[in-house]
Amino acid sequence: MISKKPIRRAFVGLQWGDEGKGKVVDEAAAEARDLNDGHKTIVVRTQGGPNAGHTIKTINSQGTPVTFITHAAPSGLPSNVDIAIGPHVAFSPKHFLKEINEARDLFNYNGRIMISERVGILLDYHRLIDEIRENNISTSVGSTKNGVGPFYEDVARRTTRITFADYVSSKFPDRLREVMEIKKSEIESALVKNNISFKDCLDKILAAHESLRHQLASYGERLEYRLNEYLEDGNHIIIEGAQGSGLDVDMGTIPDQTSSHLLAPHAFPGLGLSRSDFEIYGVEKIYPTRVGKGEMPTIDIKNFGKTVQREAREIGATTGRPRRVGYPDWVFVKHTARLNDCDGIILTRVDDVQNHELQVCVAYCFPDGNILNEVPLYLQGVTPFYANETFNWNLWNNLDETGIKMARKKYVEKGKFALPSNLREFISEHDNYVGCPIKGVSIGPYRGDTITKGF
């Protein structure tokens, strides 16, 4: 048996989501599994609900390339490792079981599944309330209408949180009735448009969840203890965040954020783990994108933004909405790398800027005339201040698709020092400015397309 240091990594998005976290988490899970060191590997999802989506491109158990999208389950499924759901997730039984069953078909998934007994259950009335609010311009926040906002309101209200332990116990029908009674007026007003009575809504939820509850019953755990034992036994643990730091409930641009705490250091106490046992990696897409509402200072609606949006197919995995594209914003990344206490950064989608000129935002111009290296609460009226230098991108040099695949393999094998000099210069300027080193460069959507050698 080879004795190596266990892999203990947490991944968090440094922008507004869709940075490629699913892909790098999948790679970390496969790396830990392939150590074959007699230790287990687990991937733990920490927050958010099916409003998030990770796309993982990998190979199934028959050796065929597949695209696997997770909304509720952690990205460990394609690697057939253990998975866990932390207490701060908005847990959707329906989405979760669907993905587990897909993974069983595609990857012969048979890992251990652990779900925190504390995690709250996302139910149909959350979705109905969300939908009603979204359809009204004065209450819309640009949500995905999955009910995640109303769910976190129930978590904060305490008496309305239906925990996983409640859900799988025989008390669930009574508990559901009790909670729906507390929320009756709000639920009823959401039901009017759907032409369904309060009682029918309750009965429908009970019926829809009867089988799901039984399928999930054996997975409930006092997770904070189990994960701690997992750690003490020397196993590999990978923590996966959803969305991006720019959407954090406290640190995002209020009200255009999500409703959970998504900065990486928040994850540890609820999982019974210590930050000091982990390396935190920020995932940064070389050009930021933002879907839905909300400001993004470097947004480009002209040539660069439009071309990258089209070429890189920047369409949301959950909503199908196009993502707005911007120039690299290092002010924002410096800020979020610090908030997350990052040890390193994985830069993704570097292949998608081939033959583009990149200008880099190194300060913000505020409406009062100040030019500062700070991210304010509200981004309205803030414009980018670009560095004099632009980076001309010519990494792939017009290779055709087969050529790019070969080139990717070559770059991954040879590592950082074989990269084109303009890319190395970009990385070194980024390290100096952001103050947190790039530890990997992703140049393709597939597992194995990330260069880590030499970093």
Q: What is the closest distance, in whole angstroms, from the C-beta atom of residue 440 to ligand GDP in the complex?
A: 10
Q: What is the closest distance, in whole angstroms, from the C-beta atom of residue 340 to ligand GDP in the complex?
A: 14
Q: Which is nearer to ligand GDP, 18 or 130 (CB)?
A: 18
Q: Which is nearer to ligand GDP, 57 or 175 (CB)?
A: 57
Return the range that interacts with ligand GDP (CB under 6 A); candidates 53-61, 86-94, 100-108, 211-219.
53-61
Question: Beta strand 65-70 with 90-91: parallel, antiparallel or unpaired?
Answer: unpaired
**Catalytic status, residue 105:** no
Given 33, 54, 127, 430, the residue binding ligand GDP (CB under 6 A): 54
Q: What does the alpha-carbon distance between residue 185 and residue 420 come to, in Å, rounded to a whole number?
A: 62
Beta-bridged to residue 283, according to DSSP, are 13, 346
Question: What are the C-alpha distances in Å from 161 to residues 9, 83, 121, 170, 240?
Answer: 30, 23, 8, 17, 23
Residue linked to tokens 């030019």? 371
Question: Beta strand 113-116 with 120-121: parallel, antiparallel or unpaired?
Answer: unpaired
Q: Chain centroid to CA 318: how far? A: 12
Residue 303 has, within 13 A of its CA and on its CB side, a CA count of: 6
In 3D, which of 172, 155, 163 has the Cα closest to residue 207? 172
**What residues between 423 and 452 interact with ligand GDP by CB under 6 A?**
442-445
Q: Which is nearer to ligand GDP, 32 or 353 (CB)?
A: 353
Q: Which is nearer to ligand GDP, 275 or 405 (CB)?
A: 405
**What residues between 293 and 352 interact with ligand GDP by CB under 6 A?**
317, 348-349, 351-352
Q: What is the closest distance, in whole angstroms, from the C-beta atom of residue 113 to ligand GDP in the complex?
A: 20
Asked whether the beta carbons of 74 and 44 are under 8 A apart, the reply is yes
Q: What is the closest distance, in whole angstroms, from the C-beta atom of residue 23 to ligand GDP in the complex?
A: 4
Residues 6+ positions from 39 with CB-CB distance below 8 Å: 6, 233, 234, 235, 236
Q: What is the closest distance, in whole angstroms, from the C-beta atom of residue 89 to ligand GDP in the complex?
A: 15
Q: What does the alpha-carbon distance between residue 161 and residue 81 come to, in Å, rounded to a whole number?
A: 30
Q: Of 37, 39, 54, 82, which residue is the catalytic one?
A: 54
Q: Which is nearer to ligand GDP, 317 or 418 (CB)?
A: 317
Neighbours of 223 (CB within 10 A): 24
Q: Could you tell me where the beta strands, DSSP code E, fall in 129-270? A: 220-221, 236-244
Q: What is the closest distance, in whole angstroms, from the C-beta atom of residue 288 to ligand GDP in the complex?
A: 12
Q: Mark 195-234 with x for binding to ligand GDP (rule: CB under 6 A) and - for no binding.
A: ----------------------------------------
Q: Which is nearer to ligand GDP, 223 or 247 (CB)?
A: 247
Given 49, 53, 220, 246, the residue binding ligand GDP (CB under 6 A): 53
Q: Mark 12-41 with x for binding to ligand GDP (rule: CB under 6 A) and - for no binding.
A: -x---xxxxxxx------------------
Q: What is the closest distance, in whole angstroms, from the C-beta atom of residue 123 to ligand GDP in the complex?
A: 24
Q: What is the closest distance, in whole angstroms, from the C-beta atom of residue 451 to ligand GDP in the complex?
A: 10
Q: Which is nearer to ligand GDP, 17 or 220 (CB)?
A: 17
Q: What does the alpha-carbon distance between residue 164 and residue 194 come to, in Å, rounded to a whole number?
A: 28
Size of interface with ligand GDP, in residues (CB under 6 A): 21
Question: Beta strand 236-244 with 8-13: parallel, antiparallel or unpaired?
Answer: parallel
In 3D, which of 184, 191, 267, 229 has the Cα closest to residue 82? 229
Count Cβ neighbours within 10 Å for each residue of 28-56 and write b for 16 or more, e otherwise.
bbbbbbeeebebbbbbbbbbbbbbbbbbb
Residue 74 has, within 13 A of its CA and on its CB side, a CA count of: 34
Q: Which is nearer to ligand GDP, 55 or 359 (CB)?
A: 55
Q: Which is nearer to ligand GDP, 13 or 111 (CB)?
A: 13
Residues 6+ positions from 99 with CB-CB distance below 8 Å: 70, 71, 72, 73, 77
**Catalytic status, residue 39:** no
Residue 95 is a binding residue for ligand GDP (CB under 6 A): no
Cα angle 374, 349, 308 (rounded to 5 degrees) comes to: 85
Return the range that interacts with ligand GDP (CB under 6 A); candidates 50-58, 80-88, 264-272, 419-427.
50-58
Tell me which residues touch ligand GDP (CB under 6 A). 13, 17-23, 53-55, 57, 317, 348-349, 351-352, 442-445
**Active-site residues: which are they?**
18, 54
